[in-house]
């Protein structure tokens, strides 16, 4: 089971699949220090 991040913890490295078929690895490929992720369920 994953643990919750606490204040001061670093965001773990995660690779996400993009809609266009590419991938992005966070936080390594982030353009800035702050990132907002939006998860959209879409249609099942």
Give domain limits for the chain: 1-44
Question: Tokens 């690779």 appear where?
Answer: 15
Note the pLDDT of residue 43. Answer: 72
Q: What is the pTM of this model?
A: 0.60
pLDDT mean over 1-10: 82
Contact between residue 16 and residue 1 where contact means Cβ atoms under 8 Å apart = no
Note the pLDDT of residue 44. Answer: 64
Segment 13-37, tens digit of pLDDT: 999 998 899 999 998 998 888 888 8
Q: Distance between CA 23 and CA 15 in Å, rounded?
A: 7
Peptide bond before residue 41 is cis, with ω within 30 degrees of 0 = no
| Residue 39 pLDDT level (bands cut at 50, 70, 90) | confident
Peptide bond before residue 27 is cis, with ω within 30 degrees of 0 = yes
Q: Distance between CA 28 and CA 3 in Å, rounded?
A: 21
């Amino acid at each position: 089971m994953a643990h919750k991040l606490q204040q001061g913890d670093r965001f773990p490295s995660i690779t996400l699949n993009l809609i266009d078929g590419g991938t992005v690895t966070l936080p390594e490929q982030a353009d800035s220090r702050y990132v907002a992720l939006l998860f959209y369920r879409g249609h099942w």
